[in-house]
Amino acid sequence: TEAVGVTVEDYPYNEITLVGDSTAAASPLDGSLYTDVKIIDNVPSSYVSMTANAPCTAYSFKPGVYGSSGMRLVQGMVAVDPDEYNYGDLLYITSADGSFVYGWAIAADACEAAMWGIVDIDCFFETYKESVLFGKRYLNVYVVDTLTKEQLEEYKEHEGMFNLRVPD
C-alpha cells in the first residue's frame, strides 16, 4: 500500500511539563539530615519561632547562581530579610491547611521585598514556570534551627554549597 496524502494536524514542539505528586513538598531538602524534629500533620514537633500566614513569593535563576549568603541556590533555598532571619536558618514552610507544602528550606539569599516589609519569604524554584505558578501565597514559616558551619560544610560536600557568613 502507498500513502495517497498526508495531513499534519499539529507540528511537534519541545515543552517542559511539570509532573509530580500534588501533595509532595516542593523542596527536595531532607530536614532529617540536620535535625531530629519530626513533621506531624505539617507542623514541626518543635521549633524556635513561627510566623503564621506570612506573605511568600517565589523566584528563579539559571543554574549555578549563588545567593547573597554565598550558598549556591537550589530549590529548597529561600531569600529572607537578613535582619529577621539568619543565613543558615533551617525553616519548614507550609500552608495552614496543608494544601501546599514547600517543606524544608534554608535561608540562603537576601530578598529586597522582605527588607521593605512587602513579603517575608521568597522561595527559590528551579524554573521560572514553577515560580510563576507559585505566585504569592500566605504560608506558615517555622524556624526550626540554625545550621552550624559544620552542617553547611557537610552539605557543601554533597551540593557544592557553603556560606562563609553563617554565624557560629
- Indicate whether 164 belongs to any domain: no
Q: What is the DSSP string of 27-62?
A: ----GGGT--PPEETTEESS-SEEEEEEEEEEE---
- State which amino acid sits at residue 61: F
Q: Indicate the pTM of the whole model.
A: 0.81
- Indicate whether 5 belongs to any domain: no
Domain that holds residue 43: 31-159
**Per the structure, how many domains does the chain have?**
1
- Indicate whether 142 belongs to any domain: yes
Domain with 143 in it: what CATH number? Answer: 2.40.40.10
Q: Please name which of 80, 73, 77 lies closest in space to residue 112, comparing C-alpha atoms.
A: 80
**pLDDT score of 28:** 85
CB 78 within 8 A of CB 59: no
- Indicate whether 10 belongs to any domain: no
Task: Return per-residue pLDDT of the chain as tens, 168 residues.
Answer: 676 777 777 776 676 666 666 668 888 888 888 889 999 999 999 999 999 999 999 999 988 888 888 888 889 999 999 999 999 999 999 999 999 999 999 999 999 888 898 889 999 999 999 999 999 999 999 999 998 888 777 766 665 554 444 444
- Indicate whether 17 belongs to any domain: no
- State which amino acid sits at residue 2: E
Q: Cα separation of 33 and 140, whole Å?
A: 22
Count the neighbouring beta carbons within 10 Å of the beta carbon of residue 32: 11
Task: Tell me how many degrees the CA angle 97-36-59 measures, rounded to the nearest 5.
Answer: 50
